[in-house]
């Protein structure tokens, strides 16, 4: 039956009106920098020296990028966080994403894996495989990477407190493929101070946690030179409430703690610093995102050259991946997030990031669907292949506004670093709760601005589509309710089959080594993993020696 014209008329959603009174607007960046003028001129940059502030791409101070030809020679790596259920589930998802434009793996693991908790522990049994893949044993890791050659693919993962276990499982899984440690590529986050400050998946107190992080870095210096043993993350602090500028400054303070520990062990700064990588945030305000990237590269280069006396140019380079600011995504009208993630990508690209990770448009409320995964990957490919931002190096250089904002961002980062130094350094500032309180205060202020309407959030506090009047519909990810049960049953079978005598000896050796601060624990953890020890069993042994972290009161 042919429809009449009237029956085909679309039903329009009702959009709540929004005031657009420019007289009440405040003009500040995401990090709270006041914008003092309607436009910027050459007078704004009076006395500004481009030779000092900019240099050339690929040269100190790297404001314009760490490579001379940047994306012309090597486009940024397109990544996406992925992982759920079992190793087999995630293996299939990785292969699907590769077919749809992914060029680097970013692995998400579930909370029991990250926290060193057994999946059948009452604290973890309902979380197994829920927000990432469950990796309890070496067998899980081998299933995860079946058919994915670990000497050809770069993998990044957000293990932190359990980074030492991930490294052991990853190295042994690679060896099962015939790939030696010297050939593996990838990154393990291994940034436990950030977990204590912002994300909460910590296990041990700060000082033994720093030891474990340094053990991973030290082992990789000597055995896996192509593998990045630490990615110091600003993104999670920003997601906890820190401004973008605060998150960069806190990240550099954390990085110096790890760097100082390796230097204390007898390594030179030029042996250690080139192995560091960073995960930094982008924002919808892509001018600020680009300026912060440029300022951060310049600041890190200055710290390494002037404070640490690094001589190798590789030590001066801020090698960074960028993730979009997930706190800017909304559960309301989720398709609007496609615009936000595209702006995240633009800001990172214009800022010169080497690798970009974008959230899916539905990630504010659910595990992404295949449809949203694909849309996000296509958004990155469109920016990279069609927008022209990859055609020339640092296309925003020389902009009065961008250069002014880059300078201001660097000044603000330096001021925060000085505040931390005045408190006795980052570890003491964390132990006293100083940084945690600053992040919590900023999180409150940001939410207050959104709730009051002072800061616009389209679809939330302005231009709101009423769902009952035809708001955007969206698919949701369907989680198999038996995922956790199946993983636990498989784990029980592994426990029945493994050599209990060998396992006991390996865990006893680990405990003894943990009590001796001169011992690097990676070989001992690797032996336990080889004996099919679970991550929870290894963490349990270390808890007996190190204890568990208790946040300071009032935080």
Residue 6, pLDDT above cutoff 60: no
The residues near 164 (Cβ < 8 Å, ≥ 6 apart) are 212, 215, 216, 521, 522, 525
- How far is Cα 80 from Cα 14, in angstroms, rounded to an integer? 34
What local confidence, expressed as pLDDT, does residue 478 receive? Answer: 64
What local confidence, expressed as pLDDT, does residue 470 receive? Answer: 47
Tell me the pLDDT band of 434, cut-offs 50, 70 and 90: very high
At 149-196, the pLDDT tens digits run 888 888 888 888 999 999 999 999 999 999 999 999 889 999 999 999
Residue 12, pLDDT above cutoff 50: no
525 class by beta-carbon count within 10 Å (0-12 exposed, 13-18 middle, 19+ buried):
buried
The residues near 514 (Cβ < 8 Å, ≥ 6 apart) are 521, 524, 541, 542, 545, 546
Q: What percent of the chain has pLDDT over 70?
A: 92
Q: What percent of the chain has pLDDT over 90?
A: 66
CA torsion, ordered 417, 346, 359, 58, to nearest 10 deg = -50
Mean pLDDT of 458-469: 78
CA dist list (Å): 450 to 235, 437, 456, 461: 20, 20, 7, 7
In contact, 286 and 296? CB cutoff 8 Å: no
Q: Which residues of 377-390 are buried (b: 16+ CB within 10 A; e: fewer)?
A: bebbbebbeeeebb
Angle of helix 400-422 versus helix 286-302 axis, rounded to 10: 50
Residue 433, pLDDT above cutoff 50: yes
Terminal CA-CA length for the chain: 66
What local confidence, expressed as pLDDT, does residue 477 receive? Answer: 64
Domains and CATH numbers, the chain: 50-469 (3.20.20.240), 488-546 (no CATH)
Q: In sequence order, what DSSP letters do the residues of 224-238 get, joined into one string?
A: -TTEE-EEEESHHHH
DSSP state for residue 307 in the 8-state scheme = I
What local confidence, expressed as pLDDT, does residue 9 receive? Answer: 42
Mean pLDDT of 337-364: 94
CA-based nearest residue to 317, from 7, 37, 61, 45: 61
Mean pLDDT of 50-55: 92
What local confidence, expressed as pLDDT, does residue 20 receive? Answer: 47
What local confidence, expressed as pLDDT, does residue 7 receive? Answer: 39
Mean pLDDT of 236-258: 96
Residue 228, pLDDT above cutoff 50: yes
- State the average pLDDT for the chain: 89
Mean pLDDT of 410-431: 96
Mean pLDDT of 280-287: 94
Residue 472, pLDDT above cutoff 70: no
What local confidence, expressed as pLDDT, does residue 309 receive? Answer: 98
Mean pLDDT of 368-374: 84
Mapping DSSP to helix (H, G, I), strand (E, B) and coil, where does residue 222 land?
A: helix
The reply to whether omega before 376 is within 30° of 0 (cis) is no
In contact, 494 and 472? CB cutoff 8 Å: no
Mean pLDDT of 200-219: 95
Residue 420, pLDDT above cutoff 80: yes
3-state helix/strand/coil string of 449-466 = HHHHCCCCCECCCECCEC
Residue 476, pLDDT above cutoff 70: no
What local confidence, expressed as pLDDT, does residue 473 receive? Answer: 58
Tell me the pLDDT band of 488, cut-offs 50, 70 and 90: confident
Tell me the pLDDT band of 365, cut-offs 50, 70 and 90: confident
Mean pLDDT of 211-220: 97
Task: Note the pTM of the prediction, 2 decimals.
Answer: 0.91
What local confidence, expressed as pLDDT, does residue 11 receive? Answer: 45
What local confidence, expressed as pLDDT, does residue 100 receive? Answer: 73
In contact, 134 and 85? CB cutoff 8 Å: yes
CA torsion, ordered 479, 485, 486, 492, to nearest 10 deg = 150
- How far is Cα 114 from Cα 99, in angstroms, rounded to an integer? 28
At 94-106, the pLDDT tens digits run 888 777 776 667 8
Q: 550 in the Ramachandran plot: left (φ > 0), alpha (ψ -120 to 50) or beta?
A: beta
Q: Which residue has the higher pLDDT, 480 or 137?
A: 137
Strands, sheet with 155-157, edge to edge from the N-terminal-most edge strand: 227-228, 186-188, 155-157, 104-107, 77-82, 355-357, 320-323, 276-281, 230-233
- How far is Cα 196 from Cα 209, in angstroms, rounded to an integer? 10
What local confidence, expressed as pLDDT, does residue 138 receive? Answer: 95
Residues β-bridged to residue 79: 104, 357
Residue 2, pLDDT above cutoff 60: no
What local confidence, expressed as pLDDT, does residue 8 receive? Answer: 42
- Which residue reads 């949701």 in tokens? 476
What local confidence, expressed as pLDDT, does residue 554 receive? Answer: 66
- Other C-beta atoms within 10 Å of 280: how many? 27
Mean pLDDT of 40-64: 93
In contact, 203 and 209? CB cutoff 8 Å: yes
Tell me the pLDDT band of 83, cut-offs 50, 70 and 90: confident
What local confidence, expressed as pLDDT, does residue 131 receive? Answer: 78
What local confidence, expressed as pLDDT, does residue 487 receive? Answer: 83
CA-based nearest residue to 128, from 481, 537, 476, 532: 481
Residues β-bridged to residue 321: 279, 355
What local confidence, expressed as pLDDT, does residue 474 receive? Answer: 63
- Other C-beta atoms within 10 Å of 332: how many? 18
What local confidence, expressed as pLDDT, does residue 289 receive? Answer: 96
In contact, 365 and 10? CB cutoff 8 Å: no
Instruction: List phi, psi (to 5°) of 534.
Output: -85, 160
């Amino acid at each position: 039956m042919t429809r009449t014209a009237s029956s085909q008329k679309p039903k329009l959603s009702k959009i709540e009106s929004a005031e657009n009174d420019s007289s009440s607007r405040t003009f500040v960046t995401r990090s709270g920098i006041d914008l003092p003028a309607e436009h910027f001129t050459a007078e704004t940059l009076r006395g500004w020296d481009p030779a000092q502030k900019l240099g050339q791409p690929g040269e100190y101070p790297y404001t314009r990028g760490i490579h001379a030809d940047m994306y012309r020679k090597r486009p940024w790596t397109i990544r996406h966080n992925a992982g759920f259920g079992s190793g087999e589930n995630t293996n299939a998802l990785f292969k699907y994403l590769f077919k749809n434009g992914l060029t680097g793996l970013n692995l998400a693991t579930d909370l029991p894996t990250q926290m060193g908790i057994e999946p059948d522990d009452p604290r973890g049994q309902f979380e197994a495989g829920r927000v990432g893949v469950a990796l309890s044993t070496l067998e899980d890791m081998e299933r995860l990477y079946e058919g994915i050659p670990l000497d050809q693919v770069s993998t990044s993962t957000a293990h932190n407190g359990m980074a030492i276990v991930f490294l052991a499982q990853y190295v042994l899984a690679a060896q099962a493929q015939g790939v030696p440690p010297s050939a593996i590529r990838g990154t393990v986050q291994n940034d436990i101070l950030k977990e204590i400050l912002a994300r909460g998946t910590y296990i041990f107190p700060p000082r033994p946690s720093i030891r474990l992080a340094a053990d991973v870095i030290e082992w990789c210096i000597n055995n896996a030179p192509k593998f990045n043993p630490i990615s110091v993350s600003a993104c999670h602090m920003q997601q906890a409430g820190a401004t973008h500028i605060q998150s960069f400054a806190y990240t550099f303070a954390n990085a110096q703690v790890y760097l100082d520990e390796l230097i204390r062990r007898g390594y030179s700064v030029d042996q250690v610093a080139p192995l560091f990588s960073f995960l930094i945030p982008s924002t919808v305000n892509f001018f600020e995102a680009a300026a912060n990237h440029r300022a951060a590269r310049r600041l890190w280069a200055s710290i390494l050259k002037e404070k640490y006396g690094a001589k190798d140019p590789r030590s001066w380079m801020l090698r960074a991946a960028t993730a979009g600011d997930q706190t800017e995504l909304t559960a309301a009208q989720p398709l609007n997030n496609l615009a936000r993630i595209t702006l995240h990508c633009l800001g990172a690209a214009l800022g010169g990031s080497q690798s970009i990770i974008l959230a899916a448009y539905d990630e504010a409320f659910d595990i992404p669907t295949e449809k949203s995964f694909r849309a996000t990957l296509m958004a990155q490919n469109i920016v990279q292949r069609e927008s022209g931002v990859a055609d020339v190096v640092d296309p925003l250089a020389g902009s009065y506004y961008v250069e002014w904002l880059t300078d201001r961002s660097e000044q603000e980062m330096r001021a925060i670093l000085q505040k931390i130094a005045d408190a006795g350094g980052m570890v003491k500032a964390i132990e006293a709760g100083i940084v945690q309180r600053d992040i919590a205060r900023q999180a409150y202020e940001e939410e207050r601005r959104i709730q009051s309407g002072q800061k616009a959030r389209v679809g939330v506090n302005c231009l709101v589509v009423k769902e009952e009047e035809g708001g955007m519909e969206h698919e949701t990810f369907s989680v198999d309710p038996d995922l956790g049960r199946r993983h636990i049953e498989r784990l029980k079978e592994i426990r029945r089959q493994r050599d209990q005598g060998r396992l006991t000896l390996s865990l006893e050796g680990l405990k003894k080594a943990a009590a001796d601060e001169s011992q690097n624990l990676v070989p001992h953890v690797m032996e336990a993993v080889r004996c099919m020890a679970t991550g929870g069993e290894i963490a349990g042994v270390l808890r007996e020696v190190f204890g568990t972290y208790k946040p300071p009161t009032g935080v």
